[in-house]
Amino acid sequence: MSDIREQVRDLHSPDPVERLRAAAGLGRLGARVRETHETLASEYRSAVTSLAGALRDPESPLIRAEAAWALGRIGGLAALRRLLPRVEELFPVPGAGGQTLGAETSPAEEAADAIATLIAAVGKVLSEEVLAGLDAEDIAGLSRARESLLRHLTLAGTDDDVRVAIVETLTILSARARKAGLDMPTDLAPLLCPGGRDAILAAIALLRESAPDAGAVARRWHQRTGWQVPEDAVSALVETWEAQLGVCGPDRATLLEWLDMAAIVWDLQAAAEIAP
């Protein structure tokens, strides 16, 4: 029996430890497939189906998180189609009928780590290839998920790790959707109001999506001049900022701080290979 079949079988074991190990094992195998560009075998399709079930494992958020991580590692359209319904369960759109799939865990009961891992897994799956292959139903689901996640960011009490996962995933979505020719603008402007980390991450998303040259300038400022930012470059970026948002940007001192931060985050995200 192949490794994959064995792990898929163990995903259905009555022993939760077996299920946890199987999810972890499938994630590692999935990573190998991505790294070696192996063809996604039919065995993986059954793995994706079984992992989708494990996203709602009643035993432990560790299993649910590991299943989400594994789906992110395996990737592909099939994985996205399993992850998005779970996102919709956890972040139901108001007035859309609430939960639809009879989840064993309600959003309030789910652990923050499992939620953040699920959202991060969606980001991992969002390759240009996957986005180009979406059908109308997929696009509608992705749009709903995007709106729910955006709205969730503005809620008080959202776990920090969940917030970061949301912003990172929306950053990836906004950048790659455009490249894939999808009409899916991500309005991150509301995030600029509260200030702080979310605003910075959103600013980066905007710069990266809409003004790559300005972003590159910001990066060079930081690297070459440390904390000093040239006046003309600031003006250029303020104009870019205002043009992109259609609103007045933050005051200059705040902008400078954000730009310094943006250069740092830019580097970190590039290093983490989530840059578009």
Partner 1 sequence: MSTPEPLGSIFESIARRWRTRFIEAAVRPPAGKHVLCAYVSTIDRCLPVTEPLLQAMIRESGVTAARIADARGAASLPGGRATTRGDVVLALLWSLEHQGGRIGVDEPGVLDWLSDLFARFGNDETPGGAPAAMIDTLTRLCREPNAAVFTVFHSEKQASIYASGIRFLTADALGRLGDVDAAAYHRVRMDRPADPDVRNYPLSYQTGEHLAWGPDPAERVRVANGPDRLICTARYLHFDVAGHVSSGAPPASIDRIFQFPGLTEIQRDAATATVAAAYPYMTLTGLQGAGKEQRPAIERELGMLLGKVTLHIELSGPRNLDWLKELLPRYVSSVGVNDDELPAVCQEITGATAAADGQYDSVWAFYQDARALAAAFDLPRLYVHTHLADLVLRREPVEDDELLAEILADLYAKWIVSRWLGMRTSSGPLPDVDLKREGLEALLTFMAQVAGLSGKSLFGWLSDTARLAQKGYFTVADDYAVALIPVAWFHGSLAQTIITTGAGDRTSAVSFVQSCFSQPRPVAPA
Please give the residue ranges that form the binding site for partner 1 (CB under 8 A). 16-17, 20-21, 24, 27-28, 31, 59-60, 62, 65-66, 68-70, 73, 113-114, 116-117, 120, 160-161, 164-165, 168, 197, 200, 219-220, 223-224, 226-227, 257, 260-261, 264-265, 267-268, 270-272
N- to C-terminal Cα distance for the chain?
Answer: 38
Cβ neighbours for 155, distance < 8 A, ≥ 6 positions apart: none
The minimum distance between CB 263 and partner 1, in angstroms, equals: 10
98 backbone dihedrals φ, ψ, rounded to 5°: 65, -150
Quick one: 134 or 218, whose CB is closer to partner 1? 218
Quick one: 37 or 224, whose CB is closer to partner 1? 224
Q: In this structure, which amino acid lies at residue 173?
A: L
Quick one: 134 or 198, whose CB is closer to partner 1? 198
- Single out the residue of 125, 115, 128 nearest to residue 176, CA to CA: 128
The minimum distance between CB 135 and partner 1, in angstroms, equals: 29
The minimum distance between CB 165 and partner 1, in angstroms, equals: 7
Tokens of 146: 């995007």
Element (H, E) at 234: helix 231-245
Where residue 116 falls (left for φ over 0; alpha for ψ -120 to 50; beta otherwise) is: alpha
250 CB burial (10 A radius; 0-12, 13-18, 19+): middle
Looking up tokens 């933050």 gives 250
The minimum distance between CB 137 and partner 1, in angstroms, equals: 28
Quick one: 33 or 134, whose CB is closer to partner 1? 33
Residue 250 three-state SS? coil
d(CA 96, CA 2): 42
The minimum distance between CB 183 and partner 1, in angstroms, equals: 30
Quick one: 167 or 175, whose CB is closer to partner 1? 167
Looking up tokens 């649910």 gives 64
Quick one: 183 or 227, whose CB is closer to partner 1? 227
The minimum distance between CB 121 and partner 1, in angstroms, equals: 9
